[in-house]
Amino acid sequence: MSSLNGHVLRTLARDVATYRGFPSLAVSASGSVYFDEGNSVVRVPLAGGKVAEVVQGRSPALSPNGQFLAYVSGDAVGSSVQTTMAITVLDLVSGAQRSWQNTVLNSSVEDLSWSPDSRYVSFTSLTWGHAPPTPYQIPSYLILDSTAPSGSLSIARPIPLATGVAWAGFLSQTAGNLEGVGVTQHARETVLDAVNAWSGQIVKHLVTMRGVLATGNALDGPEGAIQVDGSEQNLLVASSGNGFGQLYRWSSGASGPTSIARGLMRAAWVPVGVR
């Protein structure tokens, strides 16, 4: 679809089953669209064609250089006291893989995002807590160095965000300064800020928009509702809208977002030059 006016160019797949209600989408410079169908990462040509399985897993994320596919492999075992869940990085050129096991009990791994230099992978760790009358999930946000040897996700570095701020993925990089999108949700509006990935401090305000993000559970974090384009200047923001989804585009320097489509819960940018 066009990011300018929401005009649909072509339909790539129908009747696909998604994980937890929302798919993770990623488009490669070679013209493949990756998404999760159930517990499989699949791809379909952007020009149209058959859907083919790539790996067993979910939450695919493509590195900006197009070489690496990160995804969540494995799943919780039994009552989630144990887990086989891991973040796996597949080199799409050589076929080599590295994997980091989740060692936190009663937790899951979600929402992968690559840094602009294709080195770091941020993710959300959801840990179950218990308070009457129902259990709840506590999100924490971490950064994994994908050049590290396979092992444990315990090597991931927490992002020390202020209370009430959620991490929505990487935004930009200048020299060694990494920034991401910080989200603060209020009852009727969403505040987006640029935050330092290492210190968690707010660097600058981006935009305030009406409504809340389209998520399955507001306590699970942004859940992939915000996507940054390759120029690091434009965002796609999926809002709950009237309950059926509302997709917005926001460009750096603009006073507010532009509505481009209704009835959509997720979207991903197509790299410049790919059709």
Give, in degrees to the nearest 5, the angle at Cα 172 between 154 and 157: 10
Strands (E), 146-257: 151-152, 157-158, 166-174, 177-185, 189-196, 202-210, 226-228, 234-239, 246-251
Tell me how crowded residue 124 is: count the other CB atoms within 10 A of its CB: 25
The pLDDT assigned to 136 comes to 56
Give the integer Cα–Cα distance in Å for 149 and 180: 25
pLDDT tens, per residue, the chain with 275 residues: 999 999 999 999 887 766 556 788 999 999 999 999 888 999 999 999 999 999 999 999 999 999 999 999 987 544 444 567 899 999 999 999 999 999 887 788 889 999 999 999 999 998 876 555 555 567 899 999 999 999 999 999 999 999 999 999 999 998 778 999 999 988 889 999 999 999 999 999 999 999 888 887 666 778 889 999 988 999 999 998 766 789 999 999 999 999 999 988 889 999 988 87
Phi, psi of 21 (to 5 degrees): 90, -25
Which pTM was predicted?
Answer: 0.91
The pLDDT assigned to 105 comes to 75
DSSP, res 213: B
Domains of the chain in sequence order: 19-262 (2.130.10.10)
The pLDDT assigned to 79 comes to 45
Q: Which residues face 2 on adjacent strands? A: none
Q: Which residues face 43 on adjacent strands? A: 34, 52
